[in-house]
Amino acid sequence: MKARNEWRNDKEYVALVADLLRQPAVQKLADYTQHHHSDRLQHSIAVSYDSYRIAKRLHLDYVSTARAGLLHDLFYYDWRTTKFDLGTHAFIHPRVALRNAEKLTRLNSKERDIILKHMFGATLAVPKYAESLIVSLVDDYEAEHEFFSPLKKKLHQRMKKYRLAKIN
């Protein structure tokens, strides 16, 4: 398991996303809960950094992967309570994130595809690039990890107390 702020020590990664991280629109993501136990900025950084590392290891476009991974959830509403007439959150929010990202920076076609297709599986939007599939899979992993890690920790603590009580 990686440390929560491990990405800060990766100078190359930080250099790739520093301009985006300085943007108030990106920093604002910290104000939104993502998967009950994390905020949207933490989640976006985790998806971005893990996707970047995988893409780099596979000799893929890790620059586009890192940048689009950071912007994949660039929306400002609580997805658990906000509902849309045009479709589900899984269908709508990639389009909202893409529109917001295009206001912040120039995106290449791969970055657009990464943001737009990151909900593959929950939607039928098939990724065009390997990098898009990586971000989609890492996003799923991070969502599960962010939701269940605190619960697993609590369970382990309770089991430890139970075992100690049983011994005494």
Percent of the chain as helix, strand, coil, to the nearest 5: 65, 0, 30
Residue 4's pLDDT is 73
Residue 35's pLDDT is 58
- Per-residue pLDDT tens digits of the chain, which is 168 residues long: 466 789 999 999 999 999 999 999 999 999 987 656 678 999 999 999 999 999 999 999 999 999 999 999 998 877 667 666 666 656 688 999 999 999 999 999 999 999 999 888 777 789 999 999 999 999 988 888 766 666 666 666 666 666 667 676
85 exposed, middle or buried (CB, 10 Å; 0-12, 13-18, 19+)?
Answer: exposed
DSSP bridge pairs for 39:
33
Residue 156's pLDDT is 64
The domains of the chain are located at 6-167
| Among the listed residues 100, 24, 27, 115, the one whose alpha carbon sits nearest the alpha carbon of residue 66 | 115
Residue 153's pLDDT is 66
Residue 146's pLDDT is 67
Cα separation, 134 vs 137, in Å, equals 5
Question: 6-167 adopts what CATH topology?
Answer: Hypothetical protein af1432 (1.10.3210)
Residue 65's pLDDT is 98
Residue 90's pLDDT is 65
